[in-house]
Amino acid sequence: MEAIIRTENLSRDFVSGRDVVHALKNVNIEIMKGQLTILRGRSGSGKTTLINLLGALDQPTSGKIYFNDTEITKLSEQKRDELRRTNMGFVFQSVALISMMSAYENVEFGLRIAGYPAADRRKRAVECLNLVGLGKRIDHRPHELSGGEQQRVAIARAMAHKPAVIFADEPTAELDTAMGLQVVRLFKKLVTEEGLTVVMTTHDPAMMEIGDRVYTLEDGEVVNE
């Protein structure tokens, strides 16, 4: 079992006016390759702060993050951008699809941004939409799809360029329980059958059984594993 991401005493403070919020305090976790890792905790516990740091979208106040052997907290912003574009995929709470584009075009556009070879984009986009169970909906626009289906398009887009890790911050928060479970099961299937590595946050206790590894956050601290 190999860790793809590892943190060392990760802390993140936010200063607003005279107040300092200690959003993360000395977090030491490992994200294992080929696993579904769940970061769980109440609203305000630090999940988004942590997943943004793991995904190189933010920098810690102190501590280190290693991505394989590279200390990403030491990289220039440009290098971190590049790492993110080529090695990471993101799924957010509100599905951020482009409304003028079909499911297929959304995924293809993501591939273009990631610099995926032009000749292979069409095949890869269709392949990913099939993997998320939307092979018959590739020409549908977002408004012609259910919330759960839209989130599946977002997952196809996040995985299409074959990133080493996919980060999903509360991808089920705006879905009803049944659709939310479908989305998490899909992540599980992609991990088990396609060998993807997924990090997902949730405040829903029902979701945690599906994770290979669960870290619980309370007030910015990891309280159990």
Ligand X SMILES: Nc1ncnc2c1ncn2[C@@H]1O[C@H](COP(=O)(O)OP(=O)(O)O)[C@@H](O)[C@H]1O
Interface contacts to Mg ion, rule CB under 5 A: 47-48
**Residue with structure tokens 């909906």?**
137
- 67 with 30: CB under 8 angstroms? no
CB nearer ligand X, residue 114 or residue 184: 184
Dist. CA 79–CA 83, nearest whole Å: 6
Is 214 a binder of ligand X (CB under 6 A)?
Answer: no
Instruction: Look at residues 69, 58, 51 and name the one whose alpha carbon lies nearest to residue 4.
Output: 69
Dist. CA 217–CA 45, nearest whole Å: 6
Least CB distance from residue 49 to ligand X, whole Å? 3
Interaction mask 2-21, ligand X, x per CB under 6 A: ------------x-x----x
CB nearer Mg ion, residue 59 or residue 86: 59
Is 112 a binder of ligand X (CB under 6 A)?
Answer: no
| Contact positions with ligand X (CB under 6 A) in 33-52 | 41, 43-49
CB nearer Mg ion, residue 96 or residue 98: 96
Neighbours of 147 (CB within 10 A): 17
Least CB distance from residue 41 to ligand X, whole Å? 5
- 17 with 23: CB under 8 angstroms? no
- What does 16 interact with, of ligand X, Mg ion, none (CB < 5 to 8 A by kind)? ligand X
